[in-house]
Amino acid sequence: MIEPCSSVHMFFMRFAIDVVYAVYDGTDELVVRKVVSDLRPWRLSACRGARVAIELPAGTVEARGLRPEDRLRFDPGSALGG
Protein backbone atom coordinates (compact mmCIF):
# COMPACT_ATOMS: atom_id res chain seq x y z
CA MET A 1 0.00 0.00 0.00
CA ILE A 2 1.45 3.32 -1.10
CA GLU A 3 0.02 6.54 0.30
CA PRO A 4 -0.41 9.19 -0.97
CA CYS A 5 -0.36 7.77 -4.47
CA SER A 6 -2.47 8.18 -7.59
CA SER A 7 -0.17 6.65 -10.21
CA VAL A 8 2.22 3.74 -10.66
CA HIS A 9 4.99 3.10 -13.15
CA MET A 10 6.55 -0.22 -14.02
CA PHE A 11 9.87 1.02 -15.38
CA PHE A 12 12.71 -1.45 -14.89
CA MET A 13 10.35 -4.11 -13.45
CA ARG A 14 10.51 -7.71 -14.65
CA PHE A 15 7.02 -8.94 -13.79
CA ALA A 16 3.39 -7.80 -13.96
CA ILE A 17 1.29 -6.69 -10.98
CA ASP A 18 -2.30 -5.75 -10.19
CA VAL A 19 -3.03 -2.29 -8.81
CA VAL A 20 -6.03 -1.16 -6.79
CA TYR A 21 -6.58 2.60 -6.49
CA ALA A 22 -8.75 3.80 -3.62
CA VAL A 23 -9.85 6.73 -1.47
CA TYR A 24 -10.81 6.90 2.21
CA ASP A 25 -14.53 7.15 2.91
CA GLY A 26 -14.16 9.15 6.14
CA THR A 27 -13.78 6.05 8.31
CA ASP A 28 -11.17 3.30 8.34
CA GLU A 29 -12.46 1.90 5.07
CA LEU A 30 -11.17 2.46 1.57
CA VAL A 31 -13.44 2.72 -1.45
CA VAL A 32 -12.01 1.23 -4.64
CA ARG A 33 -11.92 3.78 -7.45
CA LYS A 34 -10.14 1.74 -10.12
CA VAL A 35 -8.58 -1.70 -10.58
CA VAL A 36 -5.81 -2.50 -13.03
CA SER A 37 -5.11 -6.14 -13.78
CA ASP A 38 -1.82 -7.41 -15.13
CA LEU A 39 0.08 -4.11 -15.37
CA ARG A 40 3.14 -5.17 -17.33
CA PRO A 41 6.73 -3.91 -17.21
CA TRP A 42 7.43 -0.53 -18.86
CA ARG A 43 3.80 0.63 -18.50
CA LEU A 44 2.12 3.46 -16.57
CA SER A 45 -1.18 3.58 -14.74
CA ALA A 46 -3.05 6.39 -12.95
CA CYS A 47 -6.34 7.21 -11.28
CA ARG A 48 -7.31 10.83 -10.85
CA GLY A 49 -8.36 11.55 -7.27
CA ALA A 50 -6.99 8.34 -5.78
CA ARG A 51 -5.30 8.64 -2.41
CA VAL A 52 -3.93 5.10 -2.13
CA ALA A 53 -2.43 2.57 -4.54
CA ILE A 54 -2.28 -1.06 -3.45
CA GLU A 55 0.15 -3.20 -5.44
CA LEU A 56 -0.69 -6.90 -5.54
CA PRO A 57 0.63 -10.01 -7.29
CA ALA A 58 -0.77 -10.36 -10.81
CA GLY A 59 -4.04 -12.29 -10.78
CA THR A 60 -5.14 -11.15 -7.30
CA VAL A 61 -7.76 -8.67 -8.54
CA GLU A 62 -9.48 -11.33 -10.63
CA ALA A 63 -9.16 -14.04 -7.98
CA ARG A 64 -10.70 -11.78 -5.31
CA GLY A 65 -13.27 -10.27 -7.66
CA LEU A 66 -12.31 -6.69 -6.79
CA ARG A 67 -14.35 -4.02 -8.55
CA PRO A 68 -14.75 -0.24 -8.34
CA GLU A 69 -16.97 0.84 -5.41
CA ASP A 70 -15.93 -2.20 -3.31
CA ARG A 71 -15.00 -1.31 0.26
CA LEU A 72 -11.74 -2.45 1.82
CA ARG A 73 -10.40 -2.33 5.34
CA PHE A 74 -6.62 -2.33 5.76
CA ASP A 75 -5.45 -4.27 8.80
CA PRO A 76 -1.66 -3.91 9.22
CA GLY A 77 -1.56 -6.70 11.80
CA SER A 78 -2.95 -9.28 9.35
CA ALA A 79 0.13 -9.01 7.15
CA LEU A 80 2.23 -9.93 10.17
CA GLY A 81 0.17 -12.94 11.10
CA GLY A 82 -1.72 -11.10 13.87
For 16-35, how does the pLDDT look when each residue is reduced to its tens digit (9 = 90+)? 999 999 999 988 899 999 99
Residue 44 reports pLDDT greater than 90:
yes
Strand locations in the chain (E)? 7-9, 17-24, 29-39, 44-46, 52-57, 71-73
pTM: 0.88
Q: CA–CA separation, 39 vs 62, rounded Å?
A: 13
| C-alpha span between 47 and 41 (Å, rounded) | 18
